[in-house]
Structure 1
Amino acid sequence: MGYYKGSNYSFGRGPRLLPTAVVALFSALLGGILALGLGHSLYGNRAVQPPGNPVTITQSSAPPVTSGGQPNFPAVQIAKTVGPTVVGIANFQGSGGLFGGQGLSEYGSGSGFIIDAKNGYIVTNYHVIDGARKLVVSLADGRNLEAKVVGGDPRTDLAVIKISANNLTAAQLGDSNKLQVGEPVVAIGNPGGQEFARSVTVGVVSATNRVLNLQGEASFNLIQTDAAINPGNSGGPLVNYQGLVIGINSAKNQEPGFEGMGFAIPISDALPTIKQLIEKGYASHPALLVTIDSRYNAEYASQEGWPQGAYVAQVNVGGPAAQAGIKPGDVITEVNGVRIRNSLELTHELFKYKAGEKVTVTVYRNGTSINIPVVLSELKS
């Protein structure tokens, strides 16, 4: 299937596609810098805002939205209540200026939502802010403010940015672990940029526990919804009928013939990373510290008579995998008994654990399967 991450990119930079463009780009990325074993950071030299004040995030089990004590059209009330918490985010990057100078042009746009009104913290997707030299946030009341990056994590496709402003409204967060298939939801965001700011679409939870082969999104069991998610919706909230944010809209299947297949990161799964980004300025993840060669696929494995899995191209000296005895050329096929068929599935499974925990990694080596206990180390963004 073909998926895009729902940011609105201008200047000919269209949505990222699978399996063609993303797989080609992502294969090169995974070969050298995937979170499972990279010896260097994915963030380059981006400076992040120093950790701010303790974060104030409200989680609630609010009663259904009513008007005058009587049930109202829920989507109307949700739009009124949650709409002011939703922001547009414009990503400005370098471009050729007059007489060969360098200026800034709007490269793309996305959405976000305020989670801490006092400190001005806004949650969005990492791919919305990726590469930005300047970020401009547009509020529901018409204000446009420059934002600073607090922290970003491509491994989970999450980011937190910060604005300094008064009279902000924060969204309330729900519990995505309690979602039921068929439950009605509302997506709010800026498809196409400011021209269609805070557009509201309505749908249901089509499924839970979906896994996509997209960097970042592969780290979570995603919520699938038929609420329309379009370019520019990335980072915006998916809201239940109690007016609580239960997901972060992130991607959509755009394969011809398919409609109504959008995907959101569950808020309960995202919250630990969001808190880390706010409190520490970075996120930490469990790691084997190996480099995976994504060219090892089902076709190659079948030709060689080997099992599908994650092919270990390199093992970091002194890392947990090396200490446990995992070697280059091993094919990782299971983690704690859960089947692994590729590098993204390995990432997805490892992110269920914490640094310092012990897992049993099953590898295929010289025609034999071997179980190897490994204590996971910490990998910081």
Structure 2
Amino acid sequence: MFIGANRTFRPIPYRKLAIREHNAPKTFEQQEANNARLLAKESIKRNKLKALGIEYDFEGYAGTAPAKSSHARSSKAHCDDRSRRSDEIGVVHLDDEHEAFVLADHKLGIAMAKIPAIHRQAKEMFFRAKDLNDVPGILNATRCMLLVCADFYTAWNARKTLISNGVFSEEVEMKFTRLVYTSHTFVGDELATLLAHELLLCAKLCEEHPRNYFAWSYRYCICSKLSLPSLVAELHDTTREWCDRHVSDHSAWNHRHLVLVLVLSQVPTSATTLVADELAFVTRLQRLYPDRDALWCHRRAILQTMAPYLSNRSISSWEDLDAEYGGTAAVLDDHSIDAFVRVEVQFGSEVGSVPALRYAVFALEWVCMYVCMLFCIVEWKSYMRVES
């Protein structure tokens, strides 16, 4: 056996240029010219073999060459004809590279590999028809082009001009627009169904993998697209039940806080009611599980979130306050951040666990820093008024 049978040899220097030229990317026209040259050479060889009486059954390059522009034009017409009978269009990946379309139950699938050629030929036909003022040609070309690439504004403007001239009705254009939407985005009930499915998927992943930060982050991205009623349901029903059963899941509590912030941004007038309800829910769990850090971290976030909705008052006025915890709504109705923080400090001291005492210290430090910051802002504003 020859030992060097599997050796690889460096290409001869004078062939490097040819190899580089062969591997270089080519335009569609260059590829067509190259295909034609190779097919012509293969045809000459076939004729020579045929003259010698040798049968040549191998399909050769003719069986694997990409479609010519004439084939792309016929594909464009085929796409346009099938799209007229379809109510939904999408891009699909087909195993057979020679197959361009799939039509099932009025749903048209277009092979991904054929889209550039279809769009290119449709674009050429559109500008040619526009120069010749060929109305049917403009309609057919724009229909095909926009189905595979809806971002071509010139085609949309041409169709609007034809509508203004009374060539076809607005109802026909609306039907075509709905067909384009099925190919490029989710609308209406489809979007709602998709979001509901994704929320169920997140819930399943969080059950299988506790403290799943990535699943909760993705769930928040979905929630940011929901309407206000859906956000309220997420806050009062879904996440409340979850957090009640998983009191140590930091990611779940963080998600709940972010949803609360979303709701507050849409209904700031209900901040007192929402925060009081949230504090009552957390307080019940903290009395049952006083040593769970996730609960106290969530309470810190609530304290910082509530600050913009409350007014500032001197800490010396704490001596005049006589509020007991359990009347959270009444304290929040007082609209003073110092009263709110005093009640929080008292609650942390009553619970007495290490996380609770850390929270009480945090509340004291935070309110002092917050009051000092507000004082500096007021002084700076008064200074600017004097300077002006």
TM-score, normalised to structure 2, is 0.19
Which has the higher relative contact order, 1 or 2, with Cα contacts under 8 A spaced 6 or more apart?
1
Structure with higher strand content = 1
Between Structure 1 and Structure 2, whose CA radius of gyration is higher?
A: 2
Structure with higher helix content = 2
